[in-house]
Chains A and B, each alone.
Chain A
């Protein structure tokens, strides 16, 4: 079956350091990948939408300088949180699309804590 695997599931980093998280589509090809963040006591916000062979589109309040994303092929994407601070804590979800405007398949997320 098709699933999305995210790694790591949980991570802790020191304030000011960086953290890379990965997203793997298994059993299907992901034409697009979306990264979302759920901050404590908040709902999910879209960080960016990445389509293979196209520019990555970042939402307002999120930048490539802070959240660089790599999407080298149809099965893998990674995102780094650079210079993480307390406000970057939360659950980061990767949603992979088989077809760009249809329902994405979500991974279980990477939970980031910042000390």
Chain B
């Protein structure tokens, strides 16, 4: 089965609404990371968050390692937040296993 499960697969919001993206892992992990993929492809690291809660502007990531889950909260969404959000789990060798992503569309 898939090691990294993301939900929802897609999400449509009105500008200003909040979003909660989830990531669950089927195996134990060394670290996890959230990425944003622009339409067009390039990958941007949003959070490297092995555990606990991290915040950057309107984005907050919470990882609970022993429960094998992580979430990404986007508050007051903006149109420019649209794109694909991917989570990835890391092993102690550095290998990343990616989820399938959540496609976020923020409408005006």
Could you list which residues of chain A lie within 8 angstroms of chain B, going by C-beta atoms?
32, 34, 36, 38, 42-46, 49, 91, 93, 95, 97, 100-106, 108-109, 111
Contacts and interface: CB of A to CB of B under 8 A. Distances in A.
B33 A103 contact: yes
What's the dominant secondary structure at chain A's contact region?
A: strand
Contacts of B30: 101
Contacts of B44: 106
A80 B93 CA distance: 23
Interface residues of B, number: 23
Contact of A103 (B48, B95, B100): B48
Given A106-B45, A111-B41, A43 B90 contact: no
A107 to B, nearest CB: 8
Contacts of B92: 101
B93 A100 contact: yes
A39 to B, nearest CB: 12
A91 B41 contact: yes
Interface of B: 30-31, 33, 41-45, 48, 86, 88, 90-101
A95 B18 CA distance: 31
23 contacts: A34-B95, A34-B96, A36-B98, A43-B98, A43-B100, A44-B43, A44-B88, A45-B98, A46-B96, A49-B94, A95-B96, A97-B94, A100-B93, A100-B94, A101-B30, A101-B31, A101-B90, A102-B48, A103-B45, A105-B45, A106-B44, A109-B42, A109-B43
Nearest to A45: B98
B96 A104 contact: yes
